[in-house]
Amino acid sequence: MHFSTAIYKTCLGRTIGLDDMAVIDQQLHQSLTWMSEHDITDVLELDFTAQHESFGTLETTELVPGGADIAITEDNKHEYVQLLCQHRLRGRVEQQLEAFKLGLGEIVPLKELQVFDEKEFEVRRSSSSPFFSPSSTTWRADLAPLSSLFSPSYAAHRLGRQRARPH
């Protein structure tokens, strides 16, 4: 199963940003990238809100208190981009992400995961990864003690199940 980098970053306590948006919404990523790289003075009329459709109704969420009354300017556009990315990638699914982190934390202490970046975390989470094996030439000796935390047999043990043996 593949998760977006935003989920891994959330589990690791890292900041979600514009690069993470590319995976979820390429068109929005392109628009926000353009906005970040160009002068928007007298070009865009936006405020610190985000809109999304929910059951056929357009809903507006303020990204900051009073966001509907704060215009996006050249000076604050980067803050807007960051807040919008966080809202789109995390804010609307905050409860689900926190539940996921809580469950993960019961299997692996979250502080132990801090040695990984989000890409290493994804690779090591995947049991089919060649990076998973301590015999791999890319295995880092300092991470070896954590290998059991990501193994399918450890997860099965934690869940009280025996791992099926191949015939």
Q: What is the predicted pLDDT for the residue at 127?
A: 53
Residue 164 lies in a domain: no
Q: Are strands 57-62 and 49-54 parallel, antiparallel or unpaired?
A: antiparallel
What's the CATH number where 43 sits? 3.30.2160.10
Rounded distance, CA 16 to CA 49, Å?
18
Question: Residues 131, 124: contact at Cβ < 8 Å?
Answer: yes
Asked if residue 162 is part of any domain, the answer here is no
- Structural domain harbouring 63: 17-89
pTM: 0.64
The pLDDT tens digits for 60-101 are 999 999 999 999 999 999 999 999 998 988 887 888 888 888
**How many domains does the chain fold into?**
1
Residue 103 in any domain: the answer is no
In a domain, 38, yes or no: yes
Q: Is residue 113 part of a domain?
A: no
- Compute CA distances 26 → 101, 104, 108, whole Å: 26, 29, 33
75 within some domain: yes
Query: Is there a domain that residue 34 lies in?
Result: yes
